[in-house]
């Protein structure tokens, strides 16, 4: 089940997507998630909206493979400060979310009166001038003006490979290749941005065909079983990233709950590979979809 992403080996093509505020689910928050990822030998994408400091996350799982997800802030100096920080801490890739120029209509949050702005601080988004912590309310703006031409600026300030998260179409995939990014995460933001957009798995084939093998393509959203993992890989994804299931495991039993979630999917994926005759991830191909009607 071993494979590589951006040249780094992982034990299985099942990794952890960026989600924010893990301390809402478990006291140790992202530190528990990072330890579970390290133990499993997989990649963990840490969110801009992490509730633990990046230093604490790295210290608790120093051997883990980490990428960093960035919501682009209107303050360029703040973006630069944060990117340089994650690079110095040993993060191996920069994942830029491109499907959130504005936060979608989160009706469940309104109904349940969820207000993260009241009580939570983002520990890694301090003011470059003052070096202090800034409330979520002050950090919530996302730069809605970011466009393809801005990628050259990000490439000029970091040596990290840049991955774009939130691509769903052939046209955007082709532009990503044209602008020399290193990878794409096919994602509809967990269905939380715009109702009735395509499921990630339905957009995957179009994106994979568009990049023509020039860059790696990953998928997040809707992965709940080992068969889901097999289908995504058969359709061309290099690996999948889990969102909600990780939070469910974290809320259940912290680090050990996350490990259980990962083990369930890993074992199911192993079974799916076995029953379709795949001795390695490299043998998983689109032919499986036609053969087994997965």
Query: Which is nearest to 17 in space by CA: 275, 208, 244, 206?
Result: 244
For residues 58 and 69, what is the distance between their CA atoms, to the nearest angstrom?
A: 15
Q: Active-site residue among 22, 179, 182, 189?
A: 189
Encoded tokens for 219: 């998928």
Contacts of residue 123, defined as CB under 8 A and 6 or more positions apart, other chains included, come to 50, 51, 52, 53, 54, 133
Return contacts of 132-141, CB within 8 angstroms, 24+ apart: 136/49, 139/73, 140/103, 141/73, 141/74
Contacts of residue 264, defined as CB under 8 A and 6 or more positions apart, other chains included, come to none
256 is catalytic: no
Catalytic positions? 189
């Amino acid at each position: 089940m071993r494979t590589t992403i951006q040249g780094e080996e992982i034990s299985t093509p099942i990794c952890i997507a960026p989600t924010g505020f893990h301390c809402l689910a478990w006291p140790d928050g992202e530190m528990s998630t990072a330890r579970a990822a390290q133990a499993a030998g997989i990649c963990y994408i840490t969110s801009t909206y992490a509730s633990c400091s990046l230093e604490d996350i790295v210290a608790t799982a120093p051997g883990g493979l980490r990428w960093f997800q960035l919501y682009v802030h209107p303050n360029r100096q703040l973006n630069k400060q944060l990117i340089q920080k994650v690079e110095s801490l040993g993060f191996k890739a920069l994942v830029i979310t491109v499907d959130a120029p504005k936060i979608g209509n989160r009706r469940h949050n309104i109904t349940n009166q969820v207000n993260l702005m009241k009580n939570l601080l983002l520990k890694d988004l301090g003011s470059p001038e003052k070096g202090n912590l800034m409330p979520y309310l002050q950090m919530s703006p996302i730069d809605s003006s970011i466009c393809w031409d801005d990628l050259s600026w990000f490439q000029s300030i970091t040596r990290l490979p840049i991955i774009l998260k939130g691509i769903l179409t052939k046209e955007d995939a082709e532009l990503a290749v044209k602008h020399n990014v290193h990878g794409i995460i096919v994602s509809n933001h967990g269905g939380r941005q715009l109702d009735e957009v395509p499921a990630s798995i339905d957009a995957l084939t179009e994106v994979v065909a568009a990049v023509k093998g020039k860059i790696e393509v990953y998928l997040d959203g809707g992965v709940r079983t080992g068969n889901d993992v097999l289908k995504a890989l058969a359709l061309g994804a290099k690996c999948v990233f889990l969102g909600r299931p990780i939070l469910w495991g974290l809320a259940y039993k912290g680090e050990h709950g996350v490990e259980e979630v990962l083990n369930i999917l890993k074992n199911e994926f192993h079974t799916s590979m076995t029953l379709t005759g795949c001795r390695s991830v490299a043998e998983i191909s689109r032919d499986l979809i036609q053969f087994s009607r997965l």
